[in-house]
Amino acid sequence: MSCQNAIMDPILQRHLPPDMQVSRALPGIQPENGRWLRVDEAYPAQMARRLALLRDVPAQVLYLDPAARPAAQELLSEVLKVLPDLGFDVSSSQVVCPDGRKVDASSTTCPLMLLGQLLQNDFVLMEKRGAEHVLTGAVLCFPASWRLDEKAGRPLTDIHVPVQDYTDEVARRVQRLFDGIQVGRPLWRFNQLWYEDPELFQPRSAHAPRRVGAAHVDGPYYRTERQTLLRLPVSKAVVFAVHTYVLRREDVLNPVSRQAGKAPA
């Protein structure tokens, strides 16, 4: 059985955070005033999917430039500091997760693998190389129609090709944004699409036809990523932490489930 078909039931949330219920123009960046890492109702199911991907297709979901290992280790250390606030029990040798799993934390030889075993988030490391930030490491289990092997080692402008609306002016603004991110002052944005398929693992080559439709009119599933940007204090690498939400259409459009504000458009 392929990893793509290993899980038959969709992994879904029922609610969006209130601050993700109002659309914003690109790039839509704002200060992250709450926790930059979160655990939600889909944690057990999303983590089961992540563990299967890390086990079955590690080459598709993990990448680390050897020169970026210090930044990856620093990211792991920063994450471990905040896990107790999210319901994790952390010791020097073990992390007990909210779903009851015990993860060996005594070895940090594969920091991105360990991060992928702990949190729903995907993590992408971006380091300044020349004039642009370059993708130097990632644990990316839930790609939304792109492939890590095609973006690894590439700068921001190449990573976003061929994203619709990512114009040269937007690219310059995003690079200025990355240059200006300050330690201790994370930022965040979110994207949004209607999808035909709720599958979380959706790699797609930039040269291939789109496998799933971003069907704004009749797509039954709403997929959105909360993308948090923060700068690590020592390596100065920028971390792109991505928390993926997938909801049924009725749970997004129903006034009861959206809690406040208006449904994403």
In the chain (265 residues long), the average pLDDT of successive 10-residue segments reads 56 93 76 94 98 98 98 97 97 96 92 98 95 94 93 81 59 81 95 91 80 58 95 97 96 60 45
How many whole angstroms separate alpha carbon 188 and alpha carbon 186?
7
Q: How far apart are CA 247 and CA 264, in angstroms?
A: 12
Amino acid at 229: L
Q: What is the pLDDT of residue 65?
A: 98
- 85 in any annotated domain: yes
The per-residue pLDDT for 263 is: 47
Within-domain flag for 78: yes
The pLDDT assigned to 258 comes to 45
The single residue listed with the structure tokens 């563990």 is 51
Q: Could you identify the residue written with the tokens 């993590």?
A: 123
Instruction: Give domain status of residue 202, yes or no.
Output: no
pLDDT in tens, 156-179: 877 655 555 556 676 677 778 888
Query: 80 lies in a domain?
Result: yes
257 within some domain: no
pLDDT tens-digit profile of 60-73?
999 999 999 999 99
Phi, psi for residue 206 in degrees, rounded to 5: -65, -20
Total domains in the chain come to 1
**Is 95 contained in some domain?**
yes
Write out the residue range of the structural domain in which residue 150 sits.
26-189+227-244
pTM: 0.88
Q: Cα(22)–Cα(265) distance, rounded to whole angstroms? A: 8
Q: What is the pLDDT of residue 166?
A: 54
Which amino acid, one-letter code, is at 56? D
Does a cis peptide bond (omega within 30 degrees of 0) precede residue 98? no
**CB atoms < 10 A from the CB of 261, how many?**
12
